[in-house]
Amino acid sequence: MVRNLTLAERVVVRHAFENACEICKKVIESPDGQLSVCIHTYMHARPTAARLQIIRDDFSRILAKLVSFNPENDVNFRRDEGEACFAYVDPSIDTVIYIGDQFFTSKRRGKDTPAGTFIHETSHYSSVLSTEDNAYGDDIEGLSFTLARKNADSYEYIAEMFF
């Protein structure tokens, strides 16, 4: 059932939203060496200068979309109670993230965080990166750079290395 967020849920969403924006900024401003490790680890590619810039540009696009949201606005963040997932979006409607049950029980640090979830979901929008869910979790290790760059979890995992 899709509904507005409760006050307690809104606090969690606001905190995750702020963290997601900060993480994107950290990735964009990160030293080449730190980002190189991420590209090697989660995109299994040689971290060339061009690839580093591509990833920074991709995170800039994610950040630009995130900052257009208002965590206090029920139009942007909707609760889908009973949905057994972290969150989901309709890629063609880039103004709302639907938040599932797992979002509120997930870890605050490490992998699969609420902030990482917002980065993951934002990357799906057609107006941002049009990523897909080619692989989740450790399964991303088998993706080529081309597939990893079109995979939402790759961006989430890179981001969570900066959190």
Catalytic residues: 121
Distance CA 88, CA 65 (A): 16
Contact 53, 111 (CB under 8 A): no
Q: Tell me the HSE value of 84 on the side-chain side, using a 13 A CA sphere.
A: 0
Q: Please state, in angstroms and as integers, the Cα–Cα distance from residue 79 to each residue in 20, 50, 141, 145, following that order.
A: 18, 39, 31, 33
Instruction: Name the amino acid, one letter, at 78.
Output: R
Distance CA 125, CA 115 (A): 17
Contact 147, 134 (CB under 8 A): yes
Contact 81, 66 (CB under 8 A): no
Contact 63, 28 (CB under 8 A): yes
